[in-house]
Structure 1
Amino acid sequence: MFLNISKPPNFVDLMIEQSKKILVTGGASGIGAAICRRMSDRDSHFLVHTRANKAGLEKTIRDIERNGGRGNAEFADLAVKGEARLLIQRAIDVLGGLDVLVANAGYALKTPITEISDEDFETAHVTIARSFFELATAAVPHLEKSNCGRIVGISAFGPHVWRTKVTPFAATAAAKASMEITAKALALQLAPSGITVNLIAPGFVRKDQKAHVAISPEILNKLVAEVPMGRVAEPEEIASAVAFCASSEASYITGQVIHVNGGLV
């Protein structure tokens, strides 16, 4: 007896995928910029967001164009209520639709939990968890019109790895945990439509050169010593996982947190 296996909703063969309309938040540097480079080609059109990094954003747009794609820039403070929803509308206006939402904007706070102010704790949550909720829920009606709707968020190792020698980033980890639960709820609800929702949880990632000013070689070596593979990740390694989740090759993967962390368990 043979089963009649049909293709899932919104499935498009990898070789015939149409041009992609992509929104990337936090795309001016680091992981976000690497995502734009990795996913840009002649069939891609990006709206790339940053809060204030104008120089970095301009470089990312140039990299997209160098790869044959098209790129537009947008500035917004996603910690301000409603700005994330406005960003989605801006993406629709500029791109003419939306196929892929990559939520990468973050907020890293190393302060020990007993020393975090109410304001900083709230800032972490509105920048990470609430902005993801606003972005994703506002994007859904537009992703439903796509033939390959994807939501990919950048989480972190923080909600999963707790060691005395690893900086916990407590407020950030709490906000990322909330983001992960929101993603799972979305994945469950959107699964029948073929829209997938997944998160990438990086470990320690090499930062842009300027970002290393506050990290001494000694501290960096201590961090690397905690990673079983003995090194930090390159931003491009995180970007490759995002590109996979955004492709039709990942059409049967949803509601997952994919760890790209060199073996941190």
Structure 2
Amino acid sequence: MIKRVKKILITGGASGIGAAICRRMSNRDSLFLVHTRANKAGLEKTIRDIEKNGGRADAEFADLAVKGAARLLIQRAIEFLGGLDVLVANAGYALNTPITDVSDEDFETAHATIARSFFELATAAIPHLEKSNCGRIVGVSAFGPHVWRTNVTPFAATAAAKASMEITAKALALQLAPSGITVNLIAPGFVRKDQKAHVAISPETLDKLIAEVPMGRVAEPEEIASAVAFCASNEASYITGQIIHVNGGLV
């Protein structure tokens, strides 16, 4: 059985993959600070689920596209958690627009929300993770930087931001390896969303996307959460600098 960590900060934890990660990693020995930008109802449900599993949690609202907001989130986490064992960077920005139609503002927002916030979170967390005996940074990337198809519109701006996040993670993994802190990314394929469904994808496009998956289906959020939980565990102590693809066989 995977031994779960205790003091956890997760961004984007109010729904979908983030909420599933909280459910998967919560137990009576876990303490969470769960972030969302504005989904109060979703965050409250996530916290109830954590508590149902025996864990404890508090909520924090922040727009990570704002410069410095991610660093402040780390400060808030340390105040509540009293330390940090695991940082899970899951906040995203889904923009299903052809790259030539992406505005400067949207491109910058995607980069700020995904790539810059990951850099701010990770670098601010390092001094605290160094005090843990199981320091883990786990980011949720995407298939976008790796898998391209001509018959569907890619999330180009999102993919560009995720690619920057991946390079940052590899650089951090290399530098932090001597300290024992690991840095890994999970790259999901298409994942089933909550009841709002794929708000950035039409049903017709979603059917085309599923047809591209060798397993013939989208992933459940829990399948992504299991990969995140493993990378955050003691069992993954010799795995760092890796991008683990959980995508049903997309190549």
The answer to whether the superposition gives a TM-score over 0.5 is yes
Partner of residue 185 from structure 1, selected from 166, 171, 178? 171
Partner of 2:191: 205
**Structure 1 residues 97 and 221: alpha-carbon distance in aligned structure 2, compared to 1, 3 A threshold:** same
In 1, the alpha carbon distance for the partners of 2:125 and 2:247 equals 29
**Structure 1 residues 230 and 193: alpha-carbon distance in aligned structure 2, compared to 1, 3 A threshold:** same
Comparing 223-232 with 207-216, which one deviates more in the overlay?
207-216
Partner of residue 56 from structure 1, selected from 42, 57, 60? 42
Q: Is the 8 A contact 2:14 2:46 kept in 1?
A: yes
Q: Runs of 5+ in structure 1 lacking a partner?
A: 1-14
For the residue of structure 2 that corresponds to 1:79, the secondary structure is coil
| Cα offset, 1:226, TM superposition | 0.6
Deviations 1:78-130 (A, max 9, x none): 00000000000000000000000000000011111111111111111001000
For the residue of structure 2 that corresponds to 1:33, the secondary structure is helix
Deviations 1:59-96 (A, max 9, x none): 00000000000010000000000000000000000000
Q: Is the 8 A contact 2:94 2:200 kept in 1?
A: no
**Structure 1 residues 252 and 35: alpha-carbon distance in aligned structure 2, compared to 1, 3 A threshold:** same
| Cα offset, 1:183, TM superposition | 0.2
Q: Is the 8 A contact 1:187 1:197 kept in 2?
A: yes
Q: Is the 8 A contact 1:166 1:226 kept in 2?
A: no
Comparing 114-123 with 15-24, which one deviates more in the overlay?
15-24
Report whether the alignment pairs 1:85 with 2:71.
Answer: yes
Comparing 207-216 with 104-113, which one deviates more in the overlay?
207-216
| Cα offset, 1:213, TM superposition | 5.6
| Cα offset, 1:142, TM superposition | 0.1
| Cα offset, 1:264, TM superposition | 0.5
Q: Is the 8 A contact 2:10 2:34 kept in 1?
A: yes
In 2, the alpha carbon distance for the partners of 1:88 and 1:233 equals 30
In 2, the alpha carbon distance for the partners of 1:19 and 1:217 equals 38
Q: Is the 8 A contact 1:124 1:175 kept in 2?
A: yes
Q: Is the 8 A contact 2:152 2:205 kept in 1?
A: no
Q: Is the 8 A contact 1:244 1:250 kept in 2?
A: yes
Q: Is the 8 A contact 2:8 2:88 kept in 1?
A: yes
Deviations 1:155-174 (A, max 9, x none): 00000001112331111111
| Cα offset, 1:41, TM superposition | 0.2
Q: Is the 8 A contact 2:2 2:233 kept in 1?
A: no
Partner of 1:165: 151
Deviations 1:34-74 (A, max 9, x none): 00000000000000000000000000000000000001000
| Cα offset, 1:216, TM superposition | 4.5
| Cα offset, 1:215, TM superposition | 4.5
Task: Work out which of the two has the higher radius of gyration on C-alpha atoms and give 1 or 2.
Answer: 1
**Structure 1 residues 44 and 112: alpha-carbon distance in aligned structure 2, compared to 1, 3 A threshold:** same
| Aligned residues: CA RMSD | 1.4
Q: Is the 8 A contact 2:4 2:232 kept in 1?
A: no
| Cα offset, 1:210, TM superposition | 1.5
Identity %: 90
Q: Runs of 5+ in structure 2 lacking a partner?
A: none
**Structure 1 residues 181 and 52: alpha-carbon distance in aligned structure 2, compared to 1, 3 A threshold:** same
